Amino acid sequence: MNNFEIREDFYLNDEKIKIISGAVHYFRIVPEYWRDRLEKLKSLGCNCVETYIPWNFHEVRQGEFNFSGNRDFVKFIKIAEELGLFVILRPTPYICAEWEFGGLPAWLIKDDSMRVRSTYPGFLNAVDSYFKELFKHIAPLQITNGGPIIMMQVENEYGSFGNDKRYLNSIKDLMIKHGATVPLFTSDGAWKEALDAGTIKDILPTANFGSRSKEQITNLKRFMDDNNIQGPLMCMEFWIGWFTNWGGEFKRRDSKDAARELNTILEEGHVNIYMFHGGTSFGFYNGCSYHNGQDPQTTTYDYDAPLTEWGEPSDKYNEFKEVISKYTILPNVKLSTKIKFKNYGEFKLTNKVSLFNTLDTIASPIYNDITLNMEKLNQNFGYILYRSNIGSKRNIEKSKLVDCDDRAQVFINQKHVATQYKETMGEPIPLTLNKETNNIMDILVENLGRINYGASLVSPKQRKGIKGGVMLDIHFHSGWDHYCLDMENIDNVDFSLGYETKTPAFYEYKFNIKERADTFLHTHNFGKGCVFVNGFNIGRFWNIGPTNYLYIPSPLLNEGENKIVIFETEGKYHNSITLSDTPLYI
């Protein structure tokens, strides 16, 4: 059995070991490709893989745990072990990772008093219950029990959020209580304030950075010396690219520059490349930044990593391989997974139906006098449609959505009136009610993703939907039906119920293929929405870019008949779709 220790350096079986690790998120890759990505990591010269565990991916509903299928991180870790890779695991409640709510489950904030990442009993009790189940799967995989996990993290960049040592020690104690026996570490920005705030006694501090590596490593060493901490110097997140926000630029970093920084780190200590392979934030799991307003992140998590979103080596891969070869003997790894890309061409529209027409087949209305937010309705992701009869024919000079997040489309009698988002949210909306009686107001609100970093992590904006209410003239209107559209199952969409132009709608494209291959759905002919491939939600699209594609891994396709359903909210669509062997950017 191997033995891993932290002394003045890292030791494996009493011999020094240089850790060269790469971040690979199992939850952003289809399970059929886990081995391929890990083989390519090993081929780069890495001896270790690092991954987070997102709490909200495994306990979507409180008390209901799922560790199967694409959530089977045990299988992922065992594949790494088979390939001779060690594992750095980050199972803490908060992960950031540009992931929805930083990995925290949305049901936490159903509690109006909730304070995440604190000693608030409601939070720590929830973590305790989660860890009790989670560590049943983790404990046997630790190197102390003959497994490949050599280290685990206590919290994540907490020094960029708080300085509550009692909280940090509570998380550490809960990890140990439920079976953590390997060495623990923290990771924070490499400056004094962050390290002072985010570290705790007897736990190895590591640093996260992407440039000025000599300076950053020196800062970490100075902090450790000043606090009499003995241990190796490690960059736990060497940022070799960056994430992308909707409407922004697709981030690129010069490969040679990144390789020079990697070499500097390896001269001084140990590294985890973040990301080695970014992958895809499938479904509604993309997160959100906060830059003078909510700034949702894209479905692609390419990160300009050494492996592209779809797993192909980039120039950065080759540059890094050359650097790493100076520090270790590169293994000869035979890739075992055959992956090919295919241009399938165009497929014609099969069916279409307006959301309003199929609404009652996919959701049951929940009535309440006042508007309820998503969390109060036990809904985590997706959309809510609020509906009310607002009375007889008249003109209303102004109506107003009060405290609404994130993006709202207002309809009167199924005709679009306004869309509000960011700086326009809450502005007055004039309404014209043309029917003599029973004028129906519909408000479709989309949760674009919860904020995953910084002070806004605890913002009331994390609760989605209409939280204040809807004002007509100067009073709040009461009496609302709530349709929860989490899109977890779209089988009940009834395409026989009719279509109206310029309304949110579902579009179905059925087609047959003889061979499964990776492909890219081009989305430039559509406005905004999400896509389902044979029932699997592959993510969001938005014509503001910078990406106009969604990646479809071949395991999601069938030999024979396939069905792609596009839910689109802007009334913009096309009579055919294109599946290409190359992605499309603006």
Which segments of 120-203 are extended strands (E)?
149-153, 184-189
The whole-number pLDDT of residue 231 equals: 97
Q: Matching CATH topology for 4-324 and 345-351+493-580? A: no
- What CATH number does domain 370-478 carry, 2.60.120.260, 3.40.50.10490, 3.30.70.260, 3.30.70.580? 2.60.120.260
The whole-number pLDDT of residue 358 equals: 98
CA dihedral 228, 229, 230, 232 (to 10 degrees): -140
**Spatial distance between the Cα atoms of 530 and 224, rounded to a whole number of angstroms:** 47
**Spatial distance between the Cα atoms of 159 and 211, rounded to a whole number of angstroms:** 19
| CATH class for the region spanning 345-351+493-580 | mainly beta
The predicted model scores a pTM of: 0.97
The whole-number pLDDT of residue 293 equals: 82
**Spatial distance between the Cα atoms of 50 and 276, rounded to a whole number of angstroms:** 9
Q: Where are the domains of the chain?
A: 4-324, 345-351+493-580, 370-478
The whole-number pLDDT of residue 100 equals: 98
**Spatial distance between the Cα atoms of 361 and 363, rounded to a whole number of angstroms:** 6
Distances (CA, A) of 490 to 111, 212, 312, 362, 572: 29, 49, 32, 7, 20
Which segments of 191-258 are extended strands (E)?
204-209, 234-239
Tell me: the pLDDT tens digits for 165-224? Answer: 999 999 999 999 999 999 999 999 999 999 999 999 999 999 999 999 999 999 999 999
- Greatest pairwise CA separation for the chain in angstroms: 85
Question: Which residues are catalytic, by number?
Answer: 157, 237
Q: Are 278 and 305 in contact (CB under 8 A)?
A: yes
In which order are the strands placed within the sheet that holds 383-389? 366-368, 480-485, 383-389, 440-446, 407-412, 415-421
The whole-number pLDDT of residue 185 equals: 98
| CATH match of 4-324 with 3.20.20.80 | yes
Distances (CA, A) of 532 to 29, 284, 491, 518: 16, 12, 11, 15
In which order are the strands placed within the sheet that holds 519-522? 345-348, 576-580, 519-522, 549-552
**Spatial distance between the Cα atoms of 22 and 15, rounded to a whole number of angstroms:** 22
Q: Which of 416, 364, 367 is nearest to 389 (CA)?
A: 367
Q: Which of 387, 415, 421 is nearest to 528 (CA)?
A: 421
Q: Are 284 and 537 in contact (CB under 8 A)?
A: yes
> Strand, helix or coil at 425?
coil
Which segments of 447-559 are extended strands (E)?
465-472, 475-476, 480-485, 505-513, 519-522, 528-533, 536-542, 549-552
Which residues does the chain have with pLDDT short of 70?
none
Q: Give residues with Cβ within 8 angstroms of 33, minimum separation 6.
A: 311, 337, 339, 553, 555
3-state secondary structure 360-395: HHHCCCEEECCCCCCHHHCCCCCEEEEEEECCCCEE
**Spatial distance between the Cα atoms of 513 and 533, rounded to a whole number of angstroms:** 14
**Spatial distance between the Cα atoms of 466 and 480, rounded to a whole number of angstroms:** 11
Distances (CA, A) of 365 to 46, 154, 470, 502: 52, 42, 18, 23
